[in-house]
Every structure is written in C-alpha cells, then in structure tokens.
Amino acid sequence: MTGWIMAIGFLVLGVAGLAAGVLLRKKLSRVWMASFCVAGVLLAVLGGALGVGQWNQTREERTWSYLALCYLEQGQTEQAAQYLLKTDRQDLETTAAQLLLERLRGNDTIARLRADTLNNLARTDSEKNLCSMVSGVAAGDYEAVRTAAALLREQSALTGAARTQADRRFAAETGVWLGDPEDPTAYDQELPEAERLRQQVDQALNNGSNRWAVESAAQLVQLAPSADNRLLLASAVAESVYSGDYLDASCFAADGQEPDESATAEREKLAGQIEKLESQQAQLDLALEGASDEAESERLADEKAQLFARQEELQAESDNLYARRALSSIADIHSLEAEIVRARLQYAMRDYERAVDQLLSAAGSLQCRLSPSSSLTNGLNAVRRAYEGGSDAVGVESDQFRDTMVALLSSGSDSVALASGSLTQSFADRIVSDQKVYGKDLYASGIDLSEFPQVTLLLSGRAEAMQQLVDGQGQVKDTRAEVDWQAEMLDAEGVTNQLCCVVDCSGSMGGEPMANLQEALIRFAQSDLNGAYTSLVTFEDTGRVASELSADPTRLQAAARELVANGGTNISAGLEQALAVLGRADGARTVLLMTDGQSSLDMGVVQQLAAQGIVVHTIGFGQVDDNLLQTIADATGGQYIRADSSSELENVYASLVGLIGNRVQLRYTAADTDTAEGRYVYVTTGEGSASVRVEYSLQDEGSDGRGLRELDPDFVTTDDMATRLAEDGSLTITLWLEPVLGAEHLTGVQLGGQDVNFIARENDAYTVDLTLPAAPAAGGHTLTLTWDDGLVQEYPDALLVGARLNTGSFRLGRLRLSATALLTGDGRLALRDPWLTEEVAEGQESAFSLSVQGNLTLPVDEAAILAADAAGGTMDLGQSGVLTGYGMLNLNSGDKAYTWNAPALTGGTPQNFQVEATAEYVRFLTGAEEGGETDGTVPQE
Amino acid sequence: MERFRRNKGPLLLPVLCLAAALLIYLVVNSLWGAASVARQLSLGQQYLTDMNYNAAILAFNNAIRTDPVSKEAHIGLAKAYAGTGEYQFAGQMLEDLNQGPVPDEEISDTLIDIYTDAGEWERVIRLIRELIDSTDRDEYYDLLQQVLAAYFDQPHSYGVGTDQRLVLKNGQVLSAGSNSLGQLGVALAAAPEQPEAQPLADAGFNGTAARVWCAGRTSLALDEAGNLWAAGENRWGQMGLAYADGTTRTGWTCLTDTGDVAAAAGTTGHLLVLRTDGSLWQSGSETGGQLEPVSRFATVIQLESSGETVWLLSADGGLYTSNAGDPYTWTRVAEDVLRFGLGPDGGAVWLASDGGIGSNRYSVEQPEDWTALESGRMQPDFAVRQLAQSESGLLLTDAAGTLYLAAGGQCAPVSTASPVETLYRQGEGVVLELRTGEVQYWADGDTAPAPLA
C-alpha cells in the first residue's frame, strides 16, 4: 500500500509541478518555468515508474498465489509454501491458499490462525461462502484441498494472459498442464530463448539434474549476463557441489567455443598432488607391515595420518573448485540476493559457520534496512533474531520459521526449484538445529551426605557455568533456605582429558546417518578439545578399537572416514572396548556413546566404568531405548542427549565439547538438620542462566534386600544338638539367603561370635550349609554375615538353643499363645511359630487370630517358669509384657475379619517386631531397628 | 559561471526534487519494514486493552508473519484467543513454544493466567511445579500453596469400605454395615450377614465433619479444622499411631493435628493421606505404623481408592496405581493426565492433556460428535472437567457442571437438579455432589441417579 501511495503522490506532485510551470508562465521567468516543468516531469516519471513497479509486483504476487494453488492442487506442499512465502499479500486468495496448505500439512494450530484471518477478510456474501467452504476442509483431506484449490484458482484475479503465462510456468516446472485444455497451443508457444533457458534450469533443478542445470544456466549467462542470471548460475553450481556432482569446464563453455581449461589445469594439478600423497601412503603401509617395534609403528601411523589429512584437504579443494570460482564470479554483485547466494556457496563447501555468518552479516547490513523486498529482509531478520535473540526468540522449531528459512535461502532464484534442493533443505535444517539446546549447562553427577549437615555436591556442565560457581557467582539453596557455599574445580589444571568416542556401526546407520556421523566426528576432532587424547571405538555385533588414544586428532578423523555400517547393535561390546582403552589412561576420562538402536546391556560394564570414575555421555536418535541410555548416563554422572535425526549429530557433538572435563565440587552446610524428607538442593549460576535441582533424603536407604531369609534349624534344644553331634560327628545348619545376592559374595559367617565354615550348594547360590565347630551353648546366638563389599549384617537370636518345656500354652495379659517353648538359659522364654489369640470371656469372639512364622522371646524368671512347667496347664506369664520377635506376623483363616489370603501384618519379608500385651490391649510394634547392618566395628562401652 | 550563479535556483530545483523523492522513497521503505512488526505489536496490545480480541488476533498474526520468532507476538496472540474464550487453543499455542528443557518464565506465567481464567487447575499446578523446579522462587511456592488449597476444597460425602459405608450429611457422619472391627465408629457388634443392607446410623463422630472416606475396614473423617480421624481396623498400623492393634478399638481416634489434610484413601492395611501442600503420606506395616512421606511424588493432586486399588495423579501428569497385594509399589499407567476417575473392578478412566479420554480397562463406542485423536484416544466435543466410569457408561461433566453419559455411541446430557460440583466412584456406583449440596448416587445398573440414602 505504501508503494502505491508514494507512486500516486509523486505522480500528483509531478503533475502539479508541470501545471504550475504552465499556468504560471506569465508570472515566472522562462528559466523558472522550465525548471518547474522539468521537476514535474521527473516526479511524474518517478511516480509512474513506481506505479508500474507496484503493478508488476501485484501481478507477480498474484502469480505466486496462483502457482501455490496449482501446487496445492497437485498435493505438493513444499513448493506451494515457497510460493506463498514470496508474497506479502494478505488478500482472500492468498490467505485461503495458506489455510489449505496448513490443512494438507496437518498443522491444526496454524490452520486455525489462517482460518480466523480468512474469516476476518471476507466482506461479501460470496466471499463468506468461499471462506466457509475453504475453512471446512479437514486436515489431510487431499481431495477436498484439491477441489478448493481448483475453485480458488478459477476465481483468481489474474488476467487471462497472466494466467496463461502462470500455467505455462507451472507446466515447465512440473510437466503438468492446468491451463485451458482446449487451447493446448498455449503450452507450446515459442518462448524467448532466455525464458526457455530459465525454464530449463528450473526443470533441471526440480529433477535433481544439477549438472544440466549448470549447463543451462551457463548458456543463459552467455546470452544475458544480468546479475539475476549470474546469481542463478552460482546457485546451480552450489547445488551441484553440495550434491557431489562432477562439474568440468565443458559445463560452462558457450556453444561453438572452446572451454576454459584453467579450471581443468588446476584440478589436474591437485589430482597430481593427491596421487603423490596416495603413493606415499602406500609406501608407508608397506613400511608398517615390516615395522620393527611399536614405537616405529606409531610413528609411521602418525605420518600416514598426516598425509591422509593433507590428501583430504586437497580433495576438498578440488571438489570445491567451481564453488570458489562461482564465489569469485559474483564478487561484484552487492545485492542482498547475492549475499544469500554467497552463503549457499559457503555451505556447499561445508564451511557451515561461515555460511551462517554470511547471513548474519547480511541481516545487519544497511542494504537489508533499505531493501524493498520485505520477504528477504524479514527472513534475514528472523535469522538474526534466532541466533542473537536469546530467550526472546521462540518458535524456532516451528514450520513457519523453517519455511521462512527455506524461502530466504532460495531467494537467489525466481523459481521454487531451489527450495526443494538438498542444499537448501540441509541449510534450513542446520539453522533450526543450531537453535536447539543440547545438553544441560549445569547438572549434578553426585551428592555426598556422609558428613551431613555438610553436603558435597559434584556438578558438571559448561565451562562458563563452572567458572561462575568457582568465582562465587550464583546461589545455592537447601530446602528453601539460602546457604553459604564454596566451589572449586575438581580437575586440576593441566590434567589431560581422555576421550573415547563409542559409535554404533550397525546396519541401520547406513547411508545418510553414517555420513552425518562421520562429518560430526571429523568436526569434533577438529574442534578445540584442550589437548585431549581421543580414541574411537565402534560396535555392531562386536566391539572394535578403530583408533587408539592419541593426542593427534587426525587419527580420529582418519578412523572416522573409514567407518562402515553393517551388523547388529551390541552396546555392551562397545563399552567393554572403551573400558579397555580408557582403563589404562590417567586423567579425566570420558566416553561419548552414540547409538540409533536398541540393545540389551550388561550393567556390570557400566558399573565398572562408574567405579573407575569414567563419565559416559550418551547420544541417541531414531528407535533408541531412551531409558537405557538415560540409565547409563545417570549411573556414570553423564548426560543423555536425544537428537531427532542424524543431521543433528554434529551439533550434539559440538555441544558436548563444552561439557567434557568440567567438574566442580560444591560444599555447604545445611541449616535445617531435622527434616528428613522432601529435601533438595538448588544451584543456580550467575544471573540464573543455568540451574539444577537435586532431591535427596536423609533416611537410611537400608540394605538392598540381601541377607538372611531362613535358618534351619533355628530353634533347638541342647539335647538335640548333642545328639546330632554324637550321631553325625558335626553340626550342620542350613542358611537360606534372600534371592538378591548369592553366597559367592559372602566372605564370612559367624554364629554366636564364632566363625563357621560355609559352603554354598551346587547350582544354588542362595542355599548355604554352615558347619559349626562345636555345639552352641544355650541361649540366643547372633548370626553375622560379612559381604565382599564390606557390608556386615547381624541377626540377633537367629539361633535359639535351650531346654524344652512341656507346656505349649501360655497367657500374657489378654494374649493367649500356643507354641513350642524353650528356656534359653539366659533368662528368656523362647516360643517357636506361636499361634496368638485373645483371652476373652466365654461367648465373646476373639478380635484376631494370628500366627508368627518365626520366634518370640520374653524375659522371664527361669525358676518360676520351670516350676510352672512342672505344674502343667496354661502357663501364666503375667499381666503385661513385651515379646520380641523376628519373622512374619500373619493373619490366620478363622480370624474375625479374614478367612483367606490376608496380607502379612509385618509385610512380606521377615523383620523384627514386638508384641505388647496387657489386660486391656494387645499391640504390635513393627519397624524396630533391623538386625544391625554395621561396618563390623564393635562399639566401645 | 555567472550564468550558473544567476540560474542556480531553477537548475537545482529539479535535482533537489528528484533527490528528495528518492530519499523519501528509501526512508519510507526502510522505516516501514522495520516499524511493521513494532506497529503490529503495538496495535495488538492496544486492541487487547480495548478487548477487541478479533482485531488483536489479526494484528498479532501479521506480526508473526513478519517475525515468526517474536515472543511478544506469540504471547499477545495467545492472550487474544484466550480473550475470545478459546483457552484450549491459546494454551496449546504457547505449550508448543514452551517445550525446551527449561520452561520460559514469561510464557509459563501467561499460560498460568490463561489456564486460571479457564479453570484448568491441573495445568496451572503443573506449570507452577515446573517453575518451582527451574527457579525455586518463593513466589511460586506461595502460589502453589494457594492454588492447591482452593483445588482440594471439594466435597467428599460418601465412602465405601470393605463391609461398611460412611455418609456425610450436614456435617454429621452416618455409618452402616459391619462393625466387627469398630469400623462404624460405635460400640462393637457382631458382623451382620448382609452389611450392605444395614441402615445408616450416627457414627458417633464428635463435632462437624467435612469429608469422609474408607480404606478397607478403616473409616476416615476429616473435621472442620482439617484433621483426620479414624475408626476401625489398625492391625497393620495403618492409623499411623506407631503400633498395630491386636485388640479392636472403638470410637474415633485423631490421626493428625496439623490441620492440613486434603484427602485420604487406602486399602486393607495401608493408609494414604494427601496434605494440602500436595505431599503424600502413608502408613502401614512397612512404615512401622508411622505416617511417613512418600518421597517419590513431589506433588500429588488427586488421590482415590476403591476396593483394593488406589490411584493417584502427580502434578507432572503421571497416573499411578497400586493394590492391596503390594501397596508400596506404584505402577505408572499413563502420562500427561489431567484428571482421572475410577471404574468398576479397580480400573480407571482419565482425561489426557490433549483433551482425549483414556482408560486401562474400559472402552466407549465413539459418539458421533467426538473426534478420534492420533493418540488413539477420543476427544469429546466439549471441555471435560471430571469423569468416572459406571456400568451404565462413561459419566462426564463440563465446566458448567452439566452431566453427560456416553454409552452406545451416544453422548447425551443427563438432567440433574443442579450442576454437578464433583463426581467420583465409590462402591458399586458413582457419587454426584451437586452445587446445592445435595448428594446423588448412580448405582451400577440404574438408569438414573437417585438421592443418596
């Protein structure tokens, strides 16, 4: 609209000036009259030129919308999107086309926005009907989209001639004629040579025939060396170079002319140098075979790697020859479109950073501010906002942003053929990928509470975040209370990092994923790793060391170039090799594990890595087991990074460069020492740029479930013991362990303070035979199990030995017990597997019926017990007391409330508990301190 | 030269006019482009202030077309849609932008405002929880506390245990069923043969109760001060008194005195208590009879039990279940859940964050106006607030409290005396608590709800 206003304004001013000059000729001098007329004419001409420009632009934009509808009718969304992005128009037709595009893509949110805009634009009834029809198209309904697009195309505001031209253009791009079917000659009309060549270029690019595109574009430049045509040629060259198509001088030779052989000569020279390097490497291979010792082998291998690196450089120079020449050929064009094409050429030469810098530089230029092309300036501004906007830039992963990038990157040409090319797509993907955040800037790899309230937190992350903490810039809170803290770098300066890249070379990595991986590894090796030693391990069905630890990064690069995808996925094999490589190394050691598939895992290898302090960062994409990779990272203090595709690998590895070897130890003293649960520590750096929250608990986690399950016999009379010893010559007790950790991890067993021999049963690691050196004395005997990791477990009264009582019925307060009983000789009565009920009045039902699967003991007066036992009948143990038990407390069928299948009152595993009985109540106290897991130290009294 | 000086004016006029025209052209072009986004944003904000939401939508849309990464434009657009009542759409737009590892505070704050206006409290709670995790700011803790306190303030007037039931009527607790272990709250009596046929009677609860529940043969009541009382079985130490009762106790025992209990649930031998700060506590045989926090869940927003199954919903959208056979083990059943309701035989139905209905056990023939989502779930044609499964079909309510029954490929509103405040399943039916305070019960097999007897 502004353009039209200015055009009309200038026209009016011009006419006014002309009229002033003519009408005031009598009052003005001749010179002034002429001046007014000339000024008027100039302004009118300017206004007219602007008006014509605006008219052309309007027609052009209508053509873009029309072409977009043509592509939508064919179900081709990419091209339709590109044509729609070329136009700034927000009329009904364009907005309707945008809505259909998003419906076809299934982007409901954006489609909704377009539909609302469309409804706001409709004024007349017919427009509202049309909008209603278009808005009613369902997501993904191709037929409805096609019908709607055809209808909109019919109602397009393009004139007949412009429509025919657009139809012909569409036909040239796709081979499909959507024009008047009764006028096929319209399609075959003779085109001007330049137009024919331009269409040929578009067709070639559309078909992926990049070499043909270059040839056609070269002819076009020969015919009309305008800036646009030269840029088109450079774009075609970029596409060819990126795709690896072979170009030579004949592509650029005009008809009837000899090709310029300077490029050929340069290429031949490079080829000669490459050949020489290959020959030298072959000689080194022979020398390697006959190498006398390891040192010489290493020297020769290093030399070969350097030669190979140089060869690669020369090969790249050769491959990029025409791209460099294309850059030179457009050096004199200073338009924004030229900047875009230069960025494309940089990208084609794999100089990605420079390509992005080119775009950012263009975005910040004065040209960008003054450019009349809003789509171009908007695109460049969007790039700049994405890279420099920080948290103010959102939606960088949206289709809208990506479409804008594709439109920007293909703006060097009038057609959309460039938009669908692999270079444009890859460049757009890279820009989107650059905005993604891979890996956390700050994360916790461990917390030490052994000296609580002093807490030690091990943090890892980006060097900047670590340095901020060391410099005291940040905040630490423990369970909502801010605390004073100190941080220091864990790895001393000068400590060398040892890195092992473990990569998946299974069959699924074939093709593009492997190419992306190789590229990522090569760039990783080329980045600043602070002198780290690097190595490469591959795995498919087995693991293999592709490159040993070396300070020379070219060795990793060389090994990466030789990677081949084949076989299955065996992550454990890869990690085992990494352990072998890094196990011998000193310094801070890190593994970067990458996989695109699923695999079983031997956690033992991971535990070994963790035990050796080797950090494993994991990278996954594709059909990976996210939980598995997260588990490996968590177990070793690393991070798991998930990528959407292999194209992001380079950015992922690049982000990891900033994380390796940065560790900080942070200490503080917690103020609140009472709260056991719900505790956490929160750390933030600087102005809150990075933060981490770690939850922890002060409660003892307890054992891992290992230990005593049952001892048999555990309840014997001294007489029985003597008899067995006399008969068998030895005393054997069977120990059943919980099926958590087997007997192979036991280093010692004691019973009653004496070491006993123990042998696990064959084929049963959880059943152990204990051979007692002598008959145990009367009393309760503690079973002590010592494990190979240092844990010591004690089970008091695991074995009860005493004199058998005749009585089997007892009463304590209102508790009634039925059990086999022993007098242990240490002042206690022991009851085996007692049955418990209430002593209630006749006619009243007992509230419960319980049984203990285990033993109960009660301190007693032994003399009184013996006397009561001799008297017979139910033994009265007093009005109240507390029985101590170990085992499980179960409800019996016949209980007041339960007849079957009731869960055990003490949980599913044996534990310590107490039974308190009085005349008024019976209570069970569970959760008493469990049978003593100690470090073996006997407390001094 | 003299001639030039004399005719300087006329000679310069056309040149100056042309130069001025070109300058105007260049300046207008550059400023127009640069100002376009700023102008659209300013327009959009103005329209928002004026509550002209349709115009605001257009303005912010235009801004996004020009600058697709403008946070201000996206936030403004979301506010404009929220202003038209399209809360779900507005929320979805911003949620799509807030998927990074660390939530954007500005976007999260806007989402909180939008969801608060929409009454989508589960989403509000989840967002506040995420902000707490990423910023640990006191203001978010305070906000969470306020929101939870309001969120948990929902009636619960009916509880069904193993062989007893509790009804809350005008603050009085009534009970019926078996009293073999004192679960009715009154003096012991022998277990009747048909406990479900026993009439309701005063449960002997002193004072005024606010909510009631049952967990196995343990009856629970919340007093007005927010403290939890229990009657009945304590043989596993589930009352949290540090011991298990062998002897049957009578009457009501106070379990907490902190005044911050929001809900309770449980199964035989295992009690769960949800506090108003969202923390979950449990007691039973494996906690030594002590009420201990369940540290696995930072914030729980819904807790329900039926029979021998317990279900809970954590603030991050995780739906978990456990059963009486292993009450200390939680199984994660679903993610991104906003709310759930129970069904027969221990199953559950839930409302997912994409608006779809999910279940681990029940299926509903898709009604005509519902949409099949990519996730496989079905999305009703109205915003669901609560849901529960009965044998008659799936019962749902919307924001206005209208009750719907989805069954046999149809979803039709069900007439109730007043809008439904809350619904939940207990026993062999679904309880409907109306906004008037009336409580209705839709028993399985019945064709309509009836006043709770």
For chain B, give every domain's residue range: 337-453
Selection from A52-56, A281-285, A730-734, B123-127 with the highest mean pLDDT: B123-127
The predicted model gives A722-740 an average pLDDT of 87
**How confident is the model at residue B56, as a pLDDT?**
93
pLDDT higher than threshold 70 for residue A646: yes
Which residues from chain B sit within 8 angstroms of residue A903, using beta carbons?
236, 268-269, 285, 324-325
> Taking CA atoms, what residue in B is nearest to A6?
B25
Selection from A110-114, A769-773, B349-353 with the highest mean pLDDT: B349-353
The predicted model gives B62-66 an average pLDDT of 86
Give the distance from residue A350's alpha carbon to the nearest chain B alpha carbon, in angstroms: 27
> Inter-chain contact A923–B246, Cβ cutoff 8 Å?
yes
**How confident is the model at residue A935, as a pLDDT?**
30
What distances in angstroms separate CA A316 from CA A275, A328, A864, one per listed residue? 14, 17, 101
Whether B289 contacts chain A with CB within 8 A:
yes
Give the residue from A535, A605, A596 showing the smallest Cα distance to A569: A596
Give the residue from A547, A595, A548 showing the smallest Cα distance to A573: A595
CATH code of the domain containing A564: 3.40.50.410
**How confident is the model at residue A940, as a pLDDT?**
29
Query: Greater confidence, A113 or A172?
Result: A113
Return left, alpha or beta for A783; rule: phi > 0 is left, psi -120 to 50 is alpha, else beta. beta
pLDDT higher than threshold 60 for residue A882: yes
- Burial of A774 per CB tally in 10 Å (0-12, 13-18, 19+): exposed
Considering chain A, what is the average pLDDT of its residues? 85
Whether A446 contacts chain B with CB within 8 A:
no
Each residue's pLDDT tens digit, B314-329: 999 999 999 888 888 9
pLDDT-derived band at A939 (thresholds 50, 70, 90) equals very low
- Point out the domain boundary residue: A190, A223, A245: A190
**How confident is the model at residue B307, as a pLDDT?**
87
pLDDT-derived band at A399 (thresholds 50, 70, 90) equals confident
pLDDT higher than threshold 90 for residue B66: no
> Inter-chain contact B135–A691, Cβ cutoff 8 Å?
yes
The predicted model gives A234-240 an average pLDDT of 93
By residue range, what is the domain housing residue A147? 59-190
By the 8 A CB rule, do B308 and B346 touch?
yes
A239 and A353 inside one domain: yes
pLDDT higher than threshold 80 for residue B414: yes
A414 and A290 inside one domain: yes
Which residues from chain B sit within 8 angstroms of residue A117, using beta carbons?
57-58, 61
The predicted model gives A593-608 an average pLDDT of 88
Which residues from chain A sit within 8 angstroms of residue B7, using beta carbons?
31
Residues 849-908 of A with CB under 8 A from B: 850, 891, 896-897, 902-908
Report the residue from B69, B141, B295 with minimal CB separation from A386. B69
The interaxial angle of helices A352-363 and A374-388, nearest 10 deg, is: 120
Give the residue from A930, A879, A878, A938 showing the smallest Cα distance to A907: A930
**How confident is the model at residue A933, as a pLDDT?**
34
A654 and A670 inside one domain: no
A290 and A171 inside one domain: no
The predicted model gives A710-716 an average pLDDT of 90
pLDDT higher than threshold 90 for residue A858: yes
Whether A440 contacts chain B with CB within 8 A:
yes
**How confident is the model at residue A700, as a pLDDT?**
58
pLDDT higher than threshold 70 for residue A486: yes
pLDDT higher than threshold 70 for residue A701: no
A558 and A471 inside one domain: no
Report the residue from B89, B247, B292 with minimal CB separation from A112. B89
Give the distance from residue B440's alpha carbon to the nearest chain A alpha carbon, in angstroms: 31
Whether B23 contacts chain A with CB within 8 A:
no
**Among B7, B22, B281, B285, the residue to mutate for chain A (most A Cβ within 10 A):** B285
What distance in Å separates the CA atoms of residue A711 and residue A769, rounded to the nearest whole number? Answer: 10
Whether A477 contacts chain B with CB within 8 A:
yes
Give the residue from A128, A148, A130 showing the smallest Cα distance to A138: A148
**How confident is the model at residue A101, as a pLDDT?**
92
Asked if residue A196 is part of any domain, the answer here is: no
A386 and A319 inside one domain: yes
**Among A924, A929, A930, the residue to mutate for chain B (most B Cβ within 10 A):** A924
A44 and A63 inside one domain: no
Chain-centroid distance of CA B248 in Å reads: 38
A483 and A586 inside one domain: no
A410 and A480 inside one domain: no
pLDDT higher than threshold 80 for residue A699: no
> Inter-chain contact A369–B237, Cβ cutoff 8 Å?
no
**How confident is the model at residue A493, as a pLDDT?**
61
pLDDT higher than threshold 80 for residue B88: yes
> Inter-chain contact A374–B293, Cβ cutoff 8 Å?
no
**How confident is the model at residue B432, as a pLDDT?**
97
Q: Using CA of residue B142, residue B144, residue B147, residue B151, what is the dihedral sign?
A: negative
> Inter-chain contact A678–B293, Cβ cutoff 8 Å?
yes
**Among B6, B17, B141, B249, the residue to mutate for chain A (most A Cβ within 10 A):** B17
Whether A678 contacts chain B with CB within 8 A:
yes
What distance in Å separates the CA atoms of residue A871 and residue A32, rounded to the nearest whole number? Answer: 147
Whether A642 contacts chain B with CB within 8 A:
no
**How confident is the model at residue A937, as a pLDDT?**
29
What distances in angstroms separate CA B79 from CA A421, B84, B383, one per listed residue? 38, 9, 19
A141 and A230 inside one domain: no
Which residues from chain B sit within 8 angstroms of residue A916, using beta carbons?
243
Cα-Cα end-to-end distance for chain A:
96
A47 and A129 inside one domain: no
pLDDT-derived band at A928 (thresholds 50, 70, 90) equals very low
Which residues from chain B sit within 8 angstroms of residue A39, using beta carbons?
13-14, 17-18
Selection from A18-32, A555-569, B209-223, B366-380 with the highest mean pLDDT: B209-223
Whether B127 contacts chain A with CB within 8 A:
no
Query: Greater confidence, A525 or A940?
Result: A525
Number of folded domains in chain A?
7
Give the distance from residue A905's alpha carbon to the nearest chain B alpha carbon, in angstroms: 5
ipTM of the complex: 0.84
> Inter-chain contact A923–B133, Cβ cutoff 8 Å?
no
Asked if residue A195 is part of any domain, the answer here is: no
pLDDT higher than threshold 90 for residue B65: no
What distances in angstroms separate CA B436 from CA A159, A703, B431, B439, one per listed residue? 67, 54, 14, 9
The predicted model gives A402-430 an average pLDDT of 83
- Residue B162 carries which DSSP code? S
A760 and A679 inside one domain: no
Give the distance from residue A90's alpha carbon to the nearest chain B alpha carbon, in angstroms: 9
Report the residue from B34, B268, B287 with minimal CB separation from A927. B287
**Among A108, A394, A475, the residue to mutate for chain B (most B Cβ within 10 A):** A394
pLDDT-derived band at A36 (thresholds 50, 70, 90) equals confident
